[in-house]
Homo-oligomer: A and B are copies of this chain.
């Protein structure tokens, strides 16, 4: 099967490599020429623009299949705008990025081709194993792309059509919300172990947990790796957690659906709190109030 891949960053490149490894033909484009060259070295056919990529896909007389792996937001719309004149109804476009699901619904409605929104989980660390793909959009288009999904995912079990347009990115959004909470939950456990009564080897704790314990998971394997690589006290890793867009969307959807998500919210709030460079105003006020009624000393900075 021939596919065009637009966007050759870390994730896009893995998509290319996995497609090639499964004997698919790939036409590859990125705004970074070096990334295109590298993909070409790996076996892809290079394109020097999006129109050029679209043209090259015409060759076989088949309909076009195009996989977008560009950053969520404007870059997706920009790529689609360039693609649009070249798209026919029988073509299929896949957006494999972390797009907001309502954007995907909108794009599916306006795109001349069939449009699949594809949530992709597994991260760069999943390159060898393959990804988990949550896909929304028309059934025919999903069926048409199955050989490609088999290659990019862990295999046939690693992809599934969730439902109509938007549902793929919707499920991925909530996946990420859960991910925030899981990370923070492990964090709480290891913080208590680290601050607690025993002098413990945390890599060893994670390792024994990963062998048969109820809480074993891939994230826990990554905890084990973290302690192995950074040391028992995590070395110079700072107390600052970046990111947050998909978690924010998850919480917003919870508000919309009136579903309480206290763990996910708290995990997101910890990220925000870790980035409060000037201290948390709420706590500074609480500290001052202790003086207000109780004349307790106020720590000053």
Q: Which residues of A contact B (CB under 8 A)?
A: 10, 121-126, 129-134, 136, 153-155, 157-160, 162-164, 166-167, 170-171, 174-175, 177-201, 204-205, 207-220, 222-223, 225-226, 230, 234, 236-244, 248, 250-255, 257-275, 279-290, 292-301
Which residue in B160, B187, B251, B285 is a CB contact (below 8 Å) of A187?
Answer: B285
Which residue in B220, B257, B298 is a CB contact (below 8 Å) of A192?
Answer: B257
Told that A184-B286, A226-B285, A260-B269 touch, could you supply 7 new A-B pairs with CB distance under 8 A?
A131-B213, A181-B188, A195-B258, A196-B253, A219-B293, A238-B300, A244-B258
Give the CA-CA distance A124 to B295 in the complex, in Å. 7
Query: Judging by beta carbons under 8 Å apart, are A183 and B289 in contact?
Result: yes
A179 vs chain B, min Cβ distance (A): 5
Q: Inside 8 A of A158's CB, which chain B residues have their CB? A: 208, 211-212
Query: Judging by beta carbons under 8 Å apart, are B259 and A215 in contact?
Result: no
A198 and B241 in contact, given A209-B121, A212-B121, A214-B122 (Cβ under 8 angstroms) = no
Return the 9 tightest CB-CB contacts between A and B, nearest first: A239-B279, A187-B282, A260-B269, A217-B217, A222-B292, A132-B213, A181-B185, A123-B293, A132-B212
User: Which B residue sits closest to A158, measured CB to CB?
Assistant: B211
Would you mind naming 25 contact pairs between A and B with Cβ atoms under 8 Å apart? A121-B209, A121-B215, A131-B213, A136-B198, A163-B199, A166-B197, A167-B200, A175-B189, A178-B185, A185-B264, A187-B286, A188-B282, A190-B285, A215-B217, A216-B218, A223-B292, A237-B300, A237-B301, A241-B286, A244-B258, A252-B255, A255-B268, A258-B275, A261-B269, A263-B266
Give the CA-CA distance A212 to B159 in the complex, in Å. 9
User: Which B residue sits closest to A162, measured CB to CB?
Assistant: B200
A223 vs chain B, min Cβ distance (A): 7
Give the CA-CA distance A121 to B216 in the complex, in Å. 10
Query: Judging by beta carbons under 8 Å apart, are B289 and A226 in contact?
Result: yes
Which residue in B122, B163, B188 is a CB contact (below 8 Å) of A212?
Answer: B122
A119 vs chain B, min Cβ distance (A): 9
Give the CA-CA distance A132 to B208 in the complex, in Å. 6
Query: Judging by beta carbons under 8 Å apart, are B186 and A285 in contact?
Result: yes
User: Which B residue sits closest to A240, measured CB to CB?
Assistant: B299
Query: Judging by beta carbons under 8 Å apart, are A131 and B289 in contact?
Result: no
Q: Inside 8 A of A254's CB, which chain B residues have their CB? A: 192
Q: Inside 8 A of A260's CB, which chain B residues have their CB? A: 188, 268-270, 272-273
Query: Judging by beta carbons under 8 Å apart, are B280 and A191 in contact?
Result: yes
Q: Inside 8 A of A208's CB, which chain B residues have their CB? A: 132-134, 157-160
Give the CA-CA distance A192 to B131 in the complex, in Å. 23
A15 vs chain B, min Cβ distance (A): 13
Give the CA-CA distance A154 to B122 in the complex, in Å. 26
